[in-house]
Chain A
Amino acid sequence: MGKVIVVTSGKGGVGKTTSSAALGAALAQGGDKVVVVDFDVGLRNLDLIMGAERRVVYDLVNVIQGEAKLAQALIRDKRVETLYLLPASQTRDKDNLTAEGVEKVISALKSVFDWVICDSPAGIERGATLAMRHADIAIVVTNPEVSSVRDSDRIIGLLDSKTLKAENGERMEKHLLLTRYDPARAERGDMLKVDDVLEILSIPLLGIIPESMEVLRASNLGTPVTLADERSVPAVAYFQAARRLKGEDLPITIPGERRGFFGKMFGRKAA
C-alpha cells in the first residue's frame, strides 16, 4: 500500500506545484512508482510544470464523473518511467470534485503506486480540504515571509482537524519545506531565519530549498527541477528532502549557492 502525501500551504505562489513535481520526480528517479495528482480544478498548472500539457486526454473530474477510467487519465512521464501525472480539469467547476469520488480515486492509486502526491490548490476551500483529506503525510510549503508563515499555521490547524487521520484520532505526520530561502539575506537580518520559522510553526523540517534561477528555468522548460539539472543547488535540496521522506536521517544543511569568481562579484553588487 502506497503512502499519500499532500503538498499544501494556504498561500499561493510559495512553490507547491514546483515542489510536488520535484519531489515526485526525485522519488521516481530512485525507482519508486509515483503519481502526482493536481487538485487545482479550473487553474491546473502541474501539467505545464511537468511538461505534459500537450498530452492531457482526460482528467481527475472525468474519472470521478465516470467518463473515463483512471488508467486512461494517467499520463506517463516521457523521461522517468515510474512517474505519472493525473491532471486536474481546466474547464469544469470544482464542485464536481466529490468527497466520495476523491476517496475512490485515491484508494485506487494507493494500491498501485508507492507514493501518491496530492498537489493542493491555494486557499482553504473545497479543493484544498479534499486534497489533504486522505493524506498520511503533509508537506507544508512555506516561504520565510510573514504572510506565508501565518497561512501555514492556519493550514496546520486544518491538517489537525479536517483530515481523516485527525477525525480518527490519529496524528498527522507533518513536515515543513522552507522554499525560496536566501541565506545571505537571512544572515544580514532581512529575512526570517530557518530557526525563526521552525520555532513559530513547530513542525519538523523536511528541507530548505534556496531561492534559485534554476527553478524558473526548469519551469520554462517544463521539467521538474530534479530532472532539469540533477546537480543544481535546488535539485540537490529536493533529492535530500525525498530521502528524508523515505525515512533516512540526513542532517539538514542550509544550501548556499556556491559562487565562482564572477558570481561573487555580481552577488555582492546585487545585494
Chain B
Amino acid sequence: MNLRRFFTRTQSAPAARDRLQLLLAHERASAGGSDLLAKLRDEILLAIAKHVQIDSDKVSVKMERGAQVSTLAVDIEIPFEAAAKKAA
C-alpha cells in the first residue's frame, strides 16, 4: 500500500462504533415493541387508506434512523378522481 495513503487516511474504528451504537439503540427499542417509526408508517398508511383507495405501486416510503432525529417520508400519489369521489 502507498505510504502516503496509509498515513493520511482517517481511522475507521470510530465510525464502526458510532454506527453500531446507533443501530443497536434502534434495534433494542424495536425488539421491545416500540419501533415508533414503523408504527407511524403503518398507521399513516392505514389512515389514508380509509379515505382513498391507495394503489400500492404509487406509494413510496423512506425512513432514515438517526441519533437525534429520525425521518419518515411517505409519498403517495392520490389520483384526482379518487379525491373528488370521496369529497362528493
Contacts and interface: CB of A to CB of B under 8 A. Distances in A.
A48 interface: yes
A126 B84 CA distance: 49
A258 to B, nearest CB: 8
A162 interface: no
A256 interface: no
A217 B63 contact: no
Interface string A66-89: 000101100000000000000000
Interface string A236-271: 000000000000000000000111101100000000
B44 interface: no
B37 to A, nearest CB: 9
Interface string B18-40: 01001100110011000000000
B87 interface: no
Instruction: Please classify how large the interface on chain A is, using the bins under 10, 10 to 19, 20 to 34, 35 or more.
Output: 20 to 34
A54 B66 contact: yes
Interface in B47-67: 56-57, 59-66
A53 B18 CA distance: 12
B12 interface: yes
Interface in A219-249: 219-222, 229, 232-233
Interface in B64-80: 64-66
B88 interface: no
A72 B61 contact: yes
A57 interface: yes
Contacts of B41: 57
A90 interface: yes
B12 A221 contact: yes
B62 A54 contact: no
A55 interface: yes
Nearest to B20: A48
B64 A90 contact: no
Given A48-B19, A53-B19, A217-B12, A72 B60 contact: yes
A72 B1 contact: no
Contacts of A55: 62-65
Contacts of A168: none
B30 A71 contact: no
B14 to A, nearest CB: 9
Interface of B: 1-3, 5, 12-13, 15-16, 19, 22-23, 26-27, 30-31, 41, 56-57, 59-66
Interface of A: 48, 53-58, 69, 71-72, 90-91, 216-217, 219-222, 229, 232-233, 257-260, 262-263
11 contacts: A54-B64, A54-B66, A57-B63, A69-B57, A217-B12, A219-B16, A221-B12, A221-B15, A232-B1, A258-B1, A260-B2
Closest 3 CB pairs of A and B: A220-B16, A220-B12, A54-B65
